[in-house]
Structures are given as structure tokens and as C-alpha cells.
Amino acid sequence: MKKLFVLCLVAFALVACSPKEKNATQVDKEEDEHAMNEELIGKWAGDIELPNGSLPIIVDLQKESGTLSVPAQGLSNYPFKTVSYNDNKVHIIIRLNGSAIEVNGTLKDEQIKATFNQNGGEFPLILKRYEEQPEQPVSYETFTVPVKDGDLTVALQKSSNKPSPVVLIIAGSGPTDKDGNSAIAGKNNSLKMLAEGLAQEGIASVRYDKRGIGDNASLLKKEEDISIDQYVDDAVQIIHALSANQAFSSVHIIGHSEGSLIGMLAAQKTNVESFVSIAGAGRTADTLLLEQLSGQLTPALTTETNMILAALKKGEQVQHVSPELQALFRPSVQPYMMSWLKYNPATELQHVKGRVLLIQGTTDIQVNATDAEALKQGNEKAELLYLEGMNHILKSAPEDRTKNLATYADPTLPLHPKLLPAIYKFIANDQ
């Protein structure tokens, strides 16, 4: 199932003291029994064990405050809402964009054994003392682009100061950052590798954290404010900035997964030379969601899902959603869903004026050949390329679901060997 929330936060339940009056002896006794273990104070690091892999996090515990960092998401020192301690136990609550995650931890044998709870899911988390790592050199430079509500920070990757083509790389859905890493699936660095590979061939690229994520988390105040159209407007503003820069000889777009839809809509509003769709959906969102949910829901929940999607497609919000479907259809995400449901990618691709390349991996377990063929039918001039053995995160992977998903959290795996050469050739218009 696709994760549609923008960015999740961590929460630890707050333990309240009883308001009943106690005498001084009782208070002193209970304070002795429940005094905070000072060993909890400090930085801790660990991996949240998610179904599709692990997600590294860092928590900085202080007596009355603390912060959370998620390096893979570009989230740094985000403040807790509350933190409390009881003997060897710690409880923290953090909220962001209306989303909350709860983690309860206990210190034992110099590590904190915890559970990470979000949207009804509970995942194990082991935290150990954080050891500072030497900073890795940054291979890109950043600049900002004026957009609605502020400035969008973007990363420019290039290997030369000579005029060159530049590619805008647009990431996929949910909390996926500019490097292709996700708070849900884990760290794979697919888009980072793509940008670095393009630079080696003299092709510059710009990639960015979408509003609400990483460098641009502050641009999203409420989850209900985000929409596909806002994502498109952000991409258009970046393209305008690139087009006006004489350092670039031509502007191109690469959209991955949901970024494919955003990219083709942005291409319609700008004069980009070409558009590359990688693992892009070719059918409407309701069709895809129902396909992905097939066999996972009870008959009653399937009926409810169909009713919710039908209402959202008509632009009508749904007030009552079963707890089992809250993660997907909670009220704050419904405006985004409505903005997504109104687009048919195959139809939209007809209106892209520049050259189009469609790339589809044969072991992609999220988007398949049906979508690639639908896009091809939408734009008959588009070139369609199947890469044997490439999965959704652009790595070589088997069809076996478990082994395929394991690659989502393995940043050591290189990109599929035929991906970059195909993109080089297309952007260079080498026939």
C-alpha cells in the first residue's frame, strides 16, 4: 500500500502524576523509587525495524526537552512536544503536520529497548549511545527558489562549470527525500546515485526535498494544505529558475514514481526539452490503490474503500472513516487524495510537447507493465524501454517480494547497469 502522508513524527506517551495530595514522607519515598535515571540523558541512535527495511534515527534526550533527527530524511534536531521519565523509562511525544508517533523505551544493559508506534503499527527500536561520525563531504551545492510560503532549497549536482544540460529530478510519493530515501522504506540512495551518475557524464541535475520533508519541512504547516498541484507549482518555479540560468544549455525532467505525474504536469507548463518517466503510473490513483489493496482488506473494508474513493473523486470529503483505513484516508490527507484522483497520467502525457522516454523495470512490484503500456498509448511518440531485472528503486532485484523489498534499505547496491546509459543517450538526443 502506498504511504501517502507527508512526514511522520515520533511520539512517546506522557505519564501523568496522580493529583492526590501526599505527605512529605510519601513524596520523598516515591521520588526515590521513581527518580529519573541520569544515564538516559544524551544522544542515542538506532534503527526502526520497518517491514521493508530499517530507518536510522537519532534522539537527543534532555531532562525537560529533546530532539529527533532522521538523517535519511534530512530531518535534523526536530523538538519533542513532551518528554518524561520514570525510573529507567522514557516517553516522548512529537507532532508534525497533524501526525503523531509514539515510542516507549526502557533502559537496560546500556541500551534503550523501545517500540515505535504509528497509525496502528508497532515496530521495534533499539537505541544505543550515539557516536559522532566524521562529516561526509557534500558533493553538491544548494540554492533557493522562491515559491508559495517561502523559499524552496534545492541541490545542484554538476562536475563542470561549462554550460551543460540540466535535469530536474522529482522524487516519488510520501516521505521520499531528494536522495530517493524514505522514512517508510529505508535508505537506498537511488536518486543520489542518479544525480552523481549524470554529473560524471557532464549532465547537471537539481533535486530537492518536497515541501514538508527534510530541507523544506517548514514549507508545509498542515498536512491538509498539500496537493499535487502545489507540488507541480514548486517544480515549475524551479524549471523557470533553471531556464533563466545561462549555465545550462537545456532543461529536462526526470520523474520517478509519483514524480512522473508531477513531472509531466510541470512539463506542460514549461519549455523543457525532454521528459523521462521512470516507474510512472499510467492509470488513475483509485485504480492503482484498489489493485494494491486487493486481498488485503475484508469485504466490508473493500466496500468502504470503494465508497470513499468514489466520494473523493467527486471532490467530496468523507467524515467517517474506519480505524483500519485511517492511515490511508484520514481527513487531513483527503485534500491531497482529491487532487491526485482528478488526473489520468496517460491522458496528461498527451499534452507533453518535448521528447518523452518511458522506463519500466520488469521486477517492479509497485508499478508494472500495464502502467507503462498505458502511458505509451497516451503518447505514441514516446519511447518505451523495459529494463530486465530492475525494481521500483532502480536497483537490480529478483521477483521474490521479500528479496526485492530488502533492496529498498540497502544503499550499497548500485543502480541497474543499463539505466544511466539509457538516460545519457536520450538526453544527448543520440539516435
Pairwise CA distance, residues 274 & 335, whole Å: 30
Give the burial class of 431: count Cβ atoms within 10 A of its Cβ; 0-12 exposed, 13-18 middle, 19 or more buried. exposed
Q: What is the mean pLDDT of the chain?
A: 86
CA–CA dist 81, 95 (Å, integer): 7
Q: What are phi and psi of 414, to 5 degrees?
A: -75, 170
Q: What is the pLDDT of residue 430?
A: 59
The predicted-structure confidence for 100-128, as pLDDT tens digits, reads as follows 778 899 999 999 999 887 766 788 999 99
Domain 141-284+343-427 has CATH 2.60.120.10: no
Q: What is the pLDDT of residues 179-237, one digit of tens each?
A: 999 866 778 999 999 999 999 999 999 999 999 888 998 899 888 999 999 999 999 99
- What confidence score (pLDDT) does residue 308 get? 96
User: What does the alpha-carbon distance between residue 342 and residue 375 come to, in Å, rounded to a whole number?
Assistant: 16
pLDDT at 34: 53
* DSSP letter assigned to residue 416: P
Query: Are the C-beta atoms of 358 and 372 separated by less than 8 Å?
Result: yes
Q: Is residue 41 within 8 Å of 333, Cβ to Cβ?
A: no
Report how far apart, in Å, the C-alpha atoms of 327 and of each of 116, 117, 213, 421 are: 16, 13, 18, 39
In this structure, the number of other CB atoms found within 10 A of the CB of residue 265 comes to 23
Label residue 170 by pLDDT band (50, 70, 90).
very high
Three-state DSSP state, 92: strand
**pLDDT at residue 68, rounded to an integer:** 86
Q: Does domain 24-129 have CATH number 2.60.120?
A: no
User: Which of the residue ranges 82-96, 238-252, 262-276, 299-313 would you say has the lowest mean pLDDT?
Assistant: 82-96
Burial label for 235, CB within 10 Å (0-12, 13-18, 19+), is: buried
pLDDT tier at 37 (50, 70, 90 boundaries)?
confident
The per-residue pLDDT for 116 is: 82
The residues, any chain, with a CB within 8 Å of residue 57's CB and separated by 6 or more, are 10, 45, 46, 47, 48, 68, 69, 70, 125
Query: Kind of pairing, strands 150-157 and 121-129?
Result: unpaired
Phi and psi of 338, rounded to 5°?
Answer: -65, -40
pLDDT at residue 284 in the model: 95
- Cell numbers representing residue 199 in the block: 554529473
pLDDT score recorded for residue 97: 59
| Residue 215 to residue 209: CA distance in whole angstroms | 6
Amino acid (one-letter) located at 195: A
* pLDDT band at residue 372 under the 50/70/90 scheme: very high
Question: pLDDT at position 431, please?
Answer: 45
For 86-95, 258-267, 307-316, 373-382, which range has the lowest pLDDT when averaged over its residues?
86-95
Contacts of 323 (CB under 8 A, 6+ apart): 120
- Residue found under cell 516517553: 91
**pLDDT higher than threshold 90 for residue 346:** yes
Task: For residues 271-295, give the mean pLDDT.
Answer: 94
Q: How high is the pLDDT of residue 358?
A: 98
Map out the domains of the chain as residue ranges.
24-129, 141-284+343-427
Q: Kindly tell me if the per-residue pLDDT of 18 is higher than 50.
A: no
